[in-house]
Amino acid sequence: MVAIKNTSVPYALTRLGVVMSPEPGNVNETEGVLNPASGYAPDGKLYLLPRLVAAGNVSRVGLARVRIEDGLPVGVDREGVVLAPDQGWERGHEHAGVEDPRTTWVPRLGLHLMTYVAFGPLGPRLALATSADLRSWRRLGPVHFGYQPDLSTDLNLFPNKDAVFFPTPVPGPDGRPSYAMLHRPMWDLSWVRPGAGVHLPADLSDERPGIWVSFVTAEAVEADIGALVRMSEHRLVALPEHNWESLKIGAGPPPIRVDEGWLLLHHGVDGVLDEGFILQQGTTYAAGAMLLDAEDVSRVLSRSETPMLSPETREERSGTVSNVVFPTAIEQIDGIHYVFYGMADARIGVARLDRVRS
């Protein structure tokens, strides 16, 4: 992992309020609405694709048009469900879900790419779907990580979350234009067999979950969109480093191109976790950012020493899981970037992203 050159990121988040809360009487939302994806549809309207959680922690992906007043997102109008756990690999024995979608609009493909967590028989696995209009989604299936001998492991063995694509091809490890996907494998296999323990890739001594990147050439994808689920050339991007992210980190919304490189918002977790990947009350999720090198997106140029946004309001501190700020979507309205984020796994908030002038 390349040493950090700088110690700060010149961007700030300013919270604006709640844009979506569970709808009384809606059986799809009895356990919360959270962690949305987003995008502009062909009608020019901005939409959220929230995770809707029904009784039993069964998740679906909804569609909700964002209401904008005086240039600010202030609420949503629901338009139903666009993805449900209909496939066998999205359903386990006592659980099911299509969770935490992230969508990236890729102009070169004319498609929105959705990464989501398929909560199937073996726990959380990454899957992809594509759409031209945000309403009709074509599943490409679970992500397959190609074998890489120098890792001395198979990434397909491990649960994985927090995946998101860059919106344009970037240089791959061999220099060829490639579509790159950030993701977060988790090395503790106790979730599948009690006592199985942690199995780390070669040369990795820190077992805490961090951000990785994998690639597929633009040439392959543009010949066959299905190539997006066949990723290779896996690289570690970042591990937890600061106190506010001492347990684990994960990617947030799609990276955006800025003067310094790629700006990646991410979440960091501090507190106590149970064995495996199970979230416990007593953790705190906060939001920060990294700047990635435009010529080598596995290289971190700088990162937040302290959070840009921490749980402070009642909605962020109290909910299905207490003390959670979890950014997952970013969009421009009238040239200003707005970040949509999960609030205590129960509601959706919005914050404005600004560059800090020195």
Q: Determine contact, residues 100/112, Cβ cutoff 8 Å.
A: no
Residue 175's CB is within 10 A of a number of other CB atoms, namely: 8
Q: For residue 149, count other CB atoms closer than 10 A to its CB.
A: 7
Beta strands at 170-171 and 160-165: parallel, antiparallel or unpaired: unpaired
Nearest residue to 351 (alpha-carbon basis) of 84, 109, 70, 19: 19
The one-digit pLDDT tens for each residue of the chain (358 residues) are: 333 333 589 999 999 999 999 999 999 999 999 999 999 999 999 999 999 999 999 999 999 999 999 999 999 999 999 999 999 999 987 789 999 999 999 999 999 999 999 998 888 999 999 999 999 999 999 999 999 999 999 999 999 999 999 999 999 999 999 999 999 999 998 877 788 889 999 999 999 999 999 999 999 999 999 999 999 999 999 999 999 999 999 999 999 999 999 999 999 999 976 554 454 558 999 999 999 999 999 999 999 999 999 999 999 999 999 999 999 999 999 999 999 999 999 999 999 999 998 6
Q: What are the sequence ranges of the domains in the chain?
A: 11-355
d(CA 142, CA 231): 11
CA 229, chain centre distance (Å): 16
Question: What CATH number was assigned to the domain covering residues 11-355?
Answer: 2.115.10.20
Give this prediction's pTM: 0.95
How far is Cα 72 from Cα 246, in angstroms, rounded to an integer?
A: 34
Residue 352's closest CA among 36, 69, 103, 71? 71
